Amino acid sequence: MAEVIPFWVAGRPTTGDEVVTITHPYDASMVGRTTYASPEQVEAAVGAAAEVAQEAAALPAHVRAGALDHVSRRIKEWSEDFARLITAENGKPLTWARAEVGRAVSTFRWAAEEARRFGGELQRLDTDPAGTGRVAVIRRFPRGPVLGITPFNFPLNLVAHKVAPAIAVGTPIVIKPAPATPLTALLLGELLAETDLPPGMFSILPLPNERAEALVTDDRLPVVSFTGSVSVGWQIRRMVPTKHVTLELGGNAAVVVCPDWSSDADLDLAATRIATFSNYQAGQSCIAVQRVYADQAVYERLKDRIVAAVEKLATGDPFDERTQVGPLISEAAARRVEEWVSEAVAAGGRILTGGRREGANYEPTVLENVPADAKVCREEVFGPVLVLSATSSVEEAFAAVNDSAYGLQAGVFTHRVDTAFAAYRALTVGGVIIGDVPSYRADQMPYGGTKASGVGREGVRSAMEDYTEPRVMVLTGLEL
């Protein structure tokens, strides 16, 4: 029997009585065993976070930055261990797991840099006679301990996007990782425990989702940063209206291919990017390409290229170095995708390639002629499914992108600067990626959405601002 992997309460390893086994999505083999935190252990974690909050806020910048630099270096040293663990518990192919680890290295490094320059500003007030001799010092101070709730699809880097900004600003954080993928977060805890951060600065608590409410409603955790499903996210916000809540939820990300993007090289590039990023992580990304609106002038040529590119993607065992598309997180998730595709076909949609399921594996699938009210268009598929549609104008395509409850990111393939700015103005999304798919994300840039896709922004600096609030000190009687 495999050893029980400890979780982290106030920076110290511990175990509970309720053992949980984590299995590999591809073949259901055992990956490892850990335990759920008991109510008493949850209380100890939250109590320690509250107790250390003032000490954490007073940590010198070099201490916070040094801890973040250490974690960044150690993730890089352990990069293959992290990648193989991500693949084991999440099922994403090694090539994508390694990319996630590389991003986490950068996320902690960037947070270390931001910690060193998160210094506030000095503002002269003598712009009016009443302010003569006065100057304002404006700094941001932590709101208080943070509860970070993370999903299964990026079990390292989305934990990093909660933890690294918290350390950077000097605030404790309690992480509740996804029940399907806690082991990667627990391995990260080993590296955090090597630092000189005070006890109580971090806890990582495996819990089933139905036991998270006590953490969400605990007044000692005034900030909640949640990444996950739309329904749960908005339920959290309704549950704690007086807390500061950041929600990074979901989307049904769209691509617009404009008529000027028409050369063979243009269409080859667009097809390759669309095929790759509708299926990376088996489509289990909030910004995976789900909808494509191509101008009718290029639609048929693009469609053939996309289908060919999708059919070239290697599927199978995610530990095989050649595999590009692995399983979904569970057979239940694959069955749901199968049902949605069947509904789309019954409503008149046509499968151009794919459409078959085996266990937790669902073939990369391309559809066309799908009614706009089908689930594969209206909701977040979170699977390897792509819907193609032809449009008669750029304006029609932009309207189709906006005809969605979601607004996370969109991609626009165009060479025209005026079209790029028109998209930037017209598309009600958090980010517009010109000349590429919506799946591009740099970890230092603001990231988040509009409408049902959430509130607030992630990205290291943006999260640091979310975790803090401005405080003003006015100095009087100065000769400026």
Q: How far apart are CA 207 and CA 209, in angstroms?
A: 6
Strands (E), 118-222: 121-124, 135-142, 146-149, 173-176, 202-204
Q: How far apart are CA 330 and CA 25, in angstroms?
A: 6
**3-state secondary structure at position 365:** strand
Predicted local confidence at residue 480, as pLDDT: 86
- Rounded to 5 degrees, φ, ψ at 385 are -130, 130
Predicted local confidence at residue 1, as pLDDT: 56
Q: How far apart are CA 267 and CA 278, in angstroms?
A: 16
Half-sphere exposure of 157 (CA within 13 A, CB side): 28
Composition of the chain by helix, strand, coil, percent to 5: 40, 25, 35
- The catalytically annotated residue of 248, 338, 363, 368 is 248
Q: Which residues of 333-355 are buried (b: 16+ CB within 10 A; e: fewer)?
A: bbebbbebbeebbeeebebbebb
Q: What is the dihedral of CA 237, 456, 244, 8, to 10 degrees?
A: 90
Q: How far apart are CA 444 and CA 161, in angstroms?
A: 10
Q: Which residues of 78-114 are buried (b: 16+ CB within 10 A; e: fewer)?
A: bbeebbebbbbbbbbbbbbbbbbbbbbbbbbbbbbbb
Return the residue matching tokens 């029980």.
4
- Rounded to 5 degrees, φ, ψ at 63 are -70, -45
Give the C-alpha distances (Å, rounded to integers) separating 390 from 299, 377, 396, 409, 456: 6, 14, 10, 20, 33
Sheet holding 291-295, edge to edge: 350-353, 365-368, 385-391, 291-295, 254-257, 409-413, 431-434
Domains and CATH numbers, the chain: 4-249+454-472 (3.40.605.10), 254-442 (3.40.309.10)
Instruction: Look up 258 and say whether it is catalytic.
Output: no
Predicted local confidence at residue 220, as pLDDT: 98
Taking residue 301's Cβ as centre, other Cβ atoms within 10 Å add up to 16
Beta strands 223-227; 146-149: pairing state: parallel
Are the C-beta atoms of 458 and 161 separated by less than 8 Å? Answer: yes
**3-state secondary structure at position 33:** strand
- The catalytically annotated residue of 114, 286, 368, 465 is 286
Each of the 480 residues of the chain gets a pLDDT tens digit; together they read 579 999 999 999 999 999 999 999 999 999 999 999 999 999 999 999 999 999 999 999 999 999 999 999 999 999 999 999 999 999 999 999 999 999 999 999 999 999 999 999 999 999 999 999 999 999 999 999 999 999 999 999 999 999 999 999 999 999 999 999 999 999 999 999 999 999 999 999 999 999 999 999 999 999 999 999 999 999 999 999 999 999 999 999 999 999 999 999 999 999 999 999 999 999 999 999 999 999 999 999 999 999 999 999 999 999 999 999 999 999 999 999 999 999 999 999 999 999 999 999 999 999 999 999 999 999 999 999 999 999 999 999 999 999 999 999 999 999 999 999 999 999 999 999 999 999 999 999 999 999 999 999 999 999 999 999 999 999 999 998
Give the C-alpha distances (Å, rounded to integers) separating 341 from 137, 279, 336, 357, 372: 57, 15, 9, 11, 13
Element (DSSP H or E) covering residue 106: helix 94-117
DSSP character string of 373-412: TSHHHHS---SSEEEEEEESSHHHHHHHHHSSSEESEEEE
Instruction: Look up 190 and say whether it is catalytic.
Output: no
Burial of 470 (0-12, 13-18, 19+ CB in 10 A): exposed
Q: How far apart are CA 430 and CA 451, in angstroms?
A: 10
Q: How far apart are CA 91 and CA 328, in angstroms?
A: 7
